[in-house]
Every structure is written in C-alpha cells, then in structure tokens.
Amino acid sequence: MKKTLLLYIAIIVFFGSGIAYVLHEGSALESATLLYTAMPHTTLSSGLIENFLKQLHHPLALLLIQIVVIMVATRLFGFLVSFVAQPTVVGEIIAGIILGPSLLGLFFPEFSIFLFPKESLGNLSLISQLGLIFFMFVVGMELDFEKIKKQSSASVFISHASIIFPFFLGVVLSYWLYPLFAPQNVSFMPFALFIGIAMSITAFPVLARIIKEKNLTDTSYGAMAITCAATDDITAWYILALIIALSISGTLGSSLFLLLFIAAYVVVMFYGIRPLLAKIGSTQNERLSMNAMSAIVVLLLVSSLVTESIGIHALFGAFMAGAMMPSSAISRLKELIAPRLEYVSLLVLLPLFFALTGLRTEIGLLNTSDGWLVCGLIIIIAVTGKLLGSSLAAKFMGFNWRDSFSLGILMNTRGLMELVVLNIGYEMGILSTELFTMFVIMALATTFMTGPILTFLTKDSKQDRIVANMQKSLLDLLSHELRTPLTLIRGAASNLANRNFILATNDKEAMIQTIVEGSRRMEKVIDNLLVNARFREQRTPLNMTMGRLEEVVSSALSIAENDWYRQAKLSLTSDAPPIMADFTLLQLAIGNLLDNAFKYGDDVSVEMTCAYNELYLVICNNGNLPSADTISTLGTISGRLDNSQGKPGSGIGLRLSQTIIEAHGGKLMIEMENDHFCVRVTLRGEL
C-alpha cells in the first residue's frame, strides 16, 4: 500500500511538471504581432458573479432552471388542491397560470423576464410538445376498441349527444364572438368550428381518475361515463383532425384532397400498424425487450410525423398510435409500456405544457366588466351544453334523474384535453390571446366544479352502496358461517364431556384444536357483524386519520401468526408515504386476508412496496389453490373457495376486505403467481 502511494505521487509530480514545462515554453511561440488588449479591472468576486450570471443565461442552463421551477410549482399546487378534493391537473393548470404574466409577470416582471425570456419559449414549446406526444400515446393506449365495440348503443348515443349539442351551442356563440375577438385574417368557418370543439371536449384521463378516486366504478353512471368519455375522445379527435384539415386547406378541392390523405392514414394504421403491434405484443411476456420498445417508440414518432406532415397535428398521430395497441385481453404490451412513458411525460415533460399555457394566458386582459361577463357566458354555455346533452340522453336511455345529472357533471370534465385543443387553435392563429385566456379559465372552472358537485350528488348513494354491499356479503352466507363452527364446537365439546367416551391423547388435542379454531371463526364473524352495524347506523362510517400502512400490516400479521402458530415471510418498504384511512377497519380487512392465507397454505409471504404515491400490499400462500373460475368471480358472487382438503370458508372475509379497501378508494385483486394464490391490495398514499 505504501509503495503504491509513493508511485502514485511520483507519477503525478513527474507528468505534472512535464505539462507545466511544455505550457511555459509554448507561450514563446505566440506571435509578436499579437495585440494585447487590456481588460477592464475587475475584482475576483465581481468577476465570479458576472460569469455565474452569464452561465445562467446559457440556453441549456436556463432550460434546466425553467424545468426545475415548473416541476416544483406543478407538484406543489397539485398537492395543495388535493386538500379540496380536486384532481392534480387542476393544481397543475393553476401553477401554469401563476408562472405566467397573470401573476408572476404582473407582480415580478423583471424576474419573469429573467426566468421566461421570449427567446427561450421556443425550446420550452418544443419539449412540451414532445411531452404531449408521449402523453397522447398513453391516452390512446387507455382506449380499448374491443371493449368499446362491445358496449351498448346507449354509450354511443349519450356520447354523441354530449358532443353535438355543446358543439351546436359553440357554433352559435361564435357568431357573436367573431366580430369581437377573432384575430385578423381568420375566416368565420375555422373560428366557429374551433369554438364548437372547445365546447364539446371531455378529458377522458381526468374523468377516469375522478371516478377511480371517488370509487364510482361500480355505479351504473360511473361505468357509463368511462365508456362515453372514451367514445367521446375518439370522436372528438377525429372531428378535430377534420376541423384542422378544413382550416388549413382554404378551398373545397384542397379539403377533399386532404381528407383523402387522412382516410389513407387511418386505413394504414388499422390494417397495417395495428396487426404489426399485435405481433410485437405476442412476443413479449413478462418483460419488454429494448428492441420491442425501440420499435414501438419509432412507430409512435413516425405516426406523429405523418400527421404533422399532413397538417392535422402530431398529437393526432400519437393518439392513433396508442389506440392501435393490442387489447389487454390479448397482450400485456400496454401494461409493460405505460409505466415507462407515464412518469417521464407526466412528471417532467407535461408540466412544461402547463407552464407554456400559463405564459399564453393573460388574465389581465380581462380588465373590464364586459370581458368577465363574456367569460362567464362562455362558462355557462359550456356547462349547459355538456350537462344537458349528457343528462337528457342518459335519462332517455333509462337512467334516473340523479344518475343522469351525475353523468352529465362527469362529462363536463375538460382538464388537459381542453388545453390541448386551445393551444392548437392558438398556435394556428385562430384564437386570440384574450379569447384563449377566457377558454383556459372555462377549462379550469368546469374541471374544478366536477368534484364538489359530484360529492354532493353521490354522498348518500355512495354510503348506501357501501352498506348494501357489506350487508349482502354478510347476510347471504351468515347462516353457514355461524352454524358450521357451532356444530363443530358442540360435537367436540360433547365428546370431551362424555366420560364413557374414551379418547386417545392425539384425538383429544385435535378436538380441543377444533374448539379453538371454531371459536376463532365465530369471533371473526362477530367482528364483521359489528363493522356491518357500524356502516349501517352511521352516515359517515369511515373515521379517517393519517397513519402508516406498514404499522397496520405488522399489527395484523402479529395477531394472525399468534392465532395460527406459524410465521410468515415479511418484507416492508421503509419509504412508503402515509395514508388517510380508518385504521380499525383497515386492520380488520388485512387480518381477514392473512387468515385466508394461513388457512389455505403453509408458505405465507407478505410484501409491501410503493411506487410514487401508490402503495402495494401482496399476501401470497401456497397449498390448495382456488380454481380459475373461482378466482375470476370471487368478490362479485357468493361462492366458497375450492380446495381438496375441504377446509371451511365462505369467502365473506375476503369480500368484506374488498368492500373496506374500495371504500378507501383502493383496489383488491386476486391473481396466481408461480403456483401461489396472491391477493394484491393497492392504496393511494398522501404525498
């Protein structure tokens, strides 16, 4: 070690001296005619500061600063709006507006100019467009043509009614807005068509997130809203492509020629690219190879390039490429790709789009009462068109008035998709800055009002639905759950009490164990009955507090291990975010899952992980596994677990656990992993 250190020092000294000597001698080679310009005298500190500021104005450094500021602002406001039951996108839109001239530019103009100089907006725009391309690809993947084709005509009827009526109102409104706000050299037709599509859009990703967070997927109007929004998205994007084509063509002949190009592109995507993606998907199982991922990204970019070249915007090509992905029932390709693209586009690139939208939004332009009255009128017409179009169509198809109105409120969600349409219109010069600002405010207002109105409408029905589900789960099989352990206890106790009945020591221990297990089962049923009574008697049954899921898991596992005299393999993450939950109910739910695991298998494992703000709890066991039919229907119909040992169990604990977890906005899934029966629980953490 000492010799190595000495050799190291010697090498550094020898070659360092050589470098210094060459540099000294090389200075003599400088031309004598080299003019020497005296630099102004500066102190060391001032020189460093000037150099630092100069480096900050370098395009790359400035872009990095902008990304950092935008990411922090969007995440902060996305977190803050969650306290008022708003989707993250609302906070991100607000953050974008705050970073623009409406607030930052108004009160801190010099800092705003330093942070977002005009010459830097081009780079910001290009990168945000790239983020939108990846995001629209993910949105397209969320649409499943196979499922949509199987839906009833009701969803198509409601979806198209929710488009055509607000589109009509938008076109009528444009007749009044055109002389007041239309930019110069913009004809009436593209202006009116863009106002119409801006009024009729629905944000499918935001709507799906709201339905999931409010646990409305099992309601008739929630399921219908998902289908209608998916159909709405497909229809609206095709209409937008046609509107862009008509807007840029100028003449009828040019329009027809452009429409032929669009039709040819759609045919190639459906009959060329879609089978190719299905073939790629069939070769990918658990992991996605780099070659397959590269091929898909290339197809995405080429599709975007083609539609951009045609003139109908690159985002339409990205959306179509995502929609061509094979169905989840055929391939796991969507599940393998989405996580790789979502985090980059949603967390890094997409916030840049919100900031760019905010930089284009100048609320200060609405400096008169007339301006705000026009903005209010736009909001009223937008809400009325979507609400009436959806609600009346849903009522006509057999929904009651409350469910019809709830569906109409959901379809009013515009969010990010509205901003995409508005930015396209702004970039094409069809929408003026003032009108663009009004419509951004409309998108924010309509998205913001969805959550509170929906909470008010569904407050009682949601609690009624939870109570009904829990009562059905318990009452359907209550007789079996109580009679079976009582019969076992009575028989074992009678044999032990009969002095004339001679029992071997092993038989006596087995009977005592039967009594203990029967008592444990009855205790669990009583706990479940008490929970059911609590849900039935209280209007707000969930006593929500902030805490740690890992503590609940550890406590429930300790009780289960003591009851079953066995140990489980435990793996808990140490960096999971806290959750908002009723921890008494949650411990009961997890305890039921652990009891099932110990009951049906010997090798029990408990693993808790987290990704972003999602917490995953997986409880697995080996042993006699349920049949495939039971796994596919468990939790939705009554039925016992199939097992060759004939171990008792009705599935009440599992279904009650499912109800409790869904009441917390989570999800419970049953799956097979390497000959192990696994229950996967997903809950949302609080960042």
Q: DSSP string covering 567-580, please?
A: --EEEE-SSPPPEE
pLDDT surpasses 60 at 473: no
How far, in whole angstroms, is CA 359 from its chain's centroid?
A: 25
Average pLDDT over the chain reads 77
Q: Cα–Cα distance between 277 and 272 in angstroms, integer? A: 9
Helix (H) or strand (E) holding 618, with range, is: strand 614-621
**Nearby residues of 671 by Cβ (< 8 Å), 6 or more positions away:** 631, 678, 680
Find tokens 């909470």 and name the residue. Answer: 455
- Percentage of the chain modeled with pLDDT above 90: 6
Least confident of 122-126, 301-305, 516-520: 516-520
CA distances from 156 to 168, 229, 680 (A): 18, 10, 34
pLDDT tier for residue 521 given thresholds of 50, 70 and 90: low
Q: Is 60 exceeded by the pLDDT of residue 440?
A: yes
Return the amino acid letter for 30: E
Residue 46 has pLDDT above 60, yes or no: no
Place of tokens 């996305």: 78
Strands 604-611 and 569-572: parallel
Structure tokens at 598: 């110990």
Under 8 Å between Cβ of 588 and 535: no
pLDDT band at 503 (very low <50, low <70, confident <90, very high): low
| Average pLDDT estimate for 361-373 | 84
d(CA 369, CA 364): 12
pLDDT at 633 over 50: no
Pairing between strand 676-684 and 614-621? antiparallel
- CB neighbours (10 Å) of residue 257? 12
Q: What is the pLDDT of residue 634?
A: 47
Q: Which residue has the higher pLDDT, 663 or 675?
A: 663
- The domain 543-687 is placed in CATH, from the list 1.10.260.40, 3.30.420.40, 3.30.565.10, 3.90.1150.10, at 3.30.565.10
Return the higher-pLDDT residue of 328 and 172: 172
Window from 177-181, 493-497, 608-612 with minimum mean pLDDT: 493-497
Identify the bridge partners of residue 609 per DSSP, sorted by sequence position: 616
Classify domain 60-466 at the CATH topology level: Na+/H+ antiporter like fold (1.20.1530)
pLDDT in tens, 98-118: 888 888 888 888 888 888 888
Q: Where are the domains of the chain?
A: 60-466, 543-687
| Torsion sign, CA atoms 584, 468, 150, 134 | negative
Q: Is the pTM of this model over 0.75?
A: no
* Closest of 219, 222, 204, 209 to residue 85, by C-alpha: 209
Q: Percentage of the chain with pLDDT > 70? A: 75
Distance CA(615)–CA(623), nearest Å, equals: 27
Which amino acid belongs to residue 10? Answer: A
Least trusted range by pLDDT, from 96-110, 195-209, 433-447, 533-547: 533-547
Which of the four pLDDT bands, split at 50, 70 and 90, describes residue 638?
A: very low
**Residue 258's pLDDT is what?**
75
Q: How far apart (Å, rounded) are the C-alpha atoms in residues 267 and 264?
A: 5
Give me 444's structure tokens.
Answer: 């924010």
